Amino acid sequence: MQARVALKHIATLRFWQAALAALTLDRFLLLAALVLVFVAAAIMGVQSDTWWQLRAGEMIVRTGRIPITDPFSSTVPGGYWPNHEWLAELLFYAGYSLGGLPLLYLVCAALTTVAWYGMAQLGEGPWRARALALLAGLPSQSVIWSVRPHMISLALTAATLVLLPRRRLHWLYPPLFLLWANAHAGVAFGGVILVVACLVALVHDLPQWRAQPWHAWPSTRLALATLLSALATLINPLGLGLWRYVLASFGDTTRTYMSEWQPPSLDLPASYPFFVLVGLCAVALLAAWRSWYGPRDWTLIVLALLFGLLGFRSIRHTAVFGLVAVPLLTRPFRGGAPMPAGQVRQGALNAALLLLLAGGGTLLIGRQWASTAAPALSGQVVAAVRRCEGVLYNTYDAGGPLIWLVPERPVFVDNRQDPYPAALLFAAVIAEQRGEYRELFAAYQVRCALAPLGGPLDTALRRSGWRMVGGDERFAVLALDGTIP
């Protein structure tokens, strides 16, 4: 009996010795980079979008129907709403019901970390080079990362890229695109990836047309998977309208007034990580230009060019470029050798540092969550909005929280954006930023307003005789008793 126990202890000791010896500097750097990715994603926070998405998810659960007409506003009630992310709304609400915002943060962080690990796997060279590539791409994501369906699109973009060199798994593309088309219109990025991969593979296969029948070409099989995936995207509440929506979004002038849809600029510090990443990719391409070969390499290069151009068009798209950039940055190091298994003592030190990093990340996450635990709108503001009678005006960013916290009050506008005419959105912004409200309020018979405290609209309304019925240090709720002056 004692001999068995001793042998068991010896086996356990040898296991841990082997594990620690295997934790080389290469593996330590990769794991440390992934810990940083997880921490950065876990403190991403929420945006105004998150709140109306939760309410839409609750509505789907309560009614059993997917809303594609506007159920939330007083300005365009029943208007067409291309709700292309209904599945994400449902999943977010389910997660929120089970564990609140912390669970949503953790799930989005886990998705993001797995996606970035996939990009590291797609790279080449030693793990230390891939870890550095991850860290180089990480700052470019800060503009987009938050609890929103876009995170699902980024994860599925990574999955699409990771599956490309794994031909036996291409049958996964149609179900993946079916899921994606119902979770977010970012499925268009997946379509671009597959089309580019097909064209590159076709160019690679054409010289072999005499030696191999066309139906045996890898490009033919990939084209079939692409066709089936395209058909799968039509199975959604919008049908072909999903793709009409995607195409129309490129010409939608209202989006250019939103910060994340503006092109990168030297005047916007959030653009700097993208510029640095583009420069690093250019250096990597030039440094390894003689070694580029095969469909996978050229697919990544073409995608980097396309997504880079999209990134220069809109900050929102820089995150997708960041994903493609990670494997590109590793190409100059493809000939590097991994570090051999080291000493147990060095592995133990690496493990201790990794635990220290994870512990510090946990503390940072906890502090960030504690600082953002307050509701999007205070109880005073919510109570005042409920007391205030008549049509309510609210700012663009306040619409989402109102939809979640005061569902019985129709909003004036919100950042779903799609149901609203461009003229209405512009007029609402002008009222907020300049205080020019009279024509807009008269047209919609507004008698209650939620405005930033001390802002141009708040000041203009008070001067015109509107009275404050509640508020806090951020917002004022004002009401009008007589006719609109």
Mean per-residue pLDDT of the chain? 87
Q: Is the pLDDT of residue 16 over 70?
A: no
pLDDT of residue 159: 95
Q: At residue 350, does pLDDT exceed 80?
A: no
Tokens of 5: 């126990």
- Three-state SS string over 440-482 comes to HHHHHCEEEEEEECCCHHHHHHHHCCCEEEEECCCEEEEECCC
CA distances from 423 to 69, 419, 428, 430 (A): 19, 12, 9, 10
pLDDT for 246 beyond 70: yes
- pLDDT tens, position by position, 119-140: 999 888 888 889 999 999 888 8
The pTM of the full predicted model, rounded to 2 decimals, is 0.89
Q: What is the pLDDT of residues 256-312, one digit of tens each?
A: 666 667 788 888 887 888 899 999 999 988 887 777 777 888 899 999 999 999 989
pLDDT at 315: 84
Mean pLDDT of 188-207: 90
Q: What is the pLDDT of residues 269-281, one digit of tens each?
A: 878 888 999 999 9
List pLDDT tens digits, range 419-466.
999 899 999 999 999 999 999 999 999 999 999 999 999 999 999 999
Helix (H) or strand (E) run with residue 243 in it: helix 241-249
User: Partners of 80 in the beta sheet?
Assistant: 69
Given this model, what pLDDT does residue 371 score?
Answer: 76
How far apart CA 69 and CA 67 sit, in angstroms, is 6
- Closest Cα to residue 192, out of 231, 228, 159, 160? 160
Lowest mean pLDDT of 79-88, 345-354, 361-370, name the range.
Answer: 345-354
What pLDDT band is residue 252 in, cutting at 50, 70 and 90? low
Cβ–Cβ under 8 Å, residues 366 and 38: no
Which structure tokens are listed for 141? Answer: 């994501």
Q: What is the pLDDT of residue 21?
A: 62
What mean pLDDT comes out for the span 319-328? 91
How does pLDDT run across 368-424, given as a tens digit for each residue? 888 777 788 999 999 999 999 999 999 999 999 999 999 999 999 998 888 999 899
In what side-by-side order are the strands of the sheet with 446-452?
A: 391-394, 446-452, 475-479, 467-471
**Distance separating alpha carbons of residues 480 and 456, to the nearest angstrom:** 17
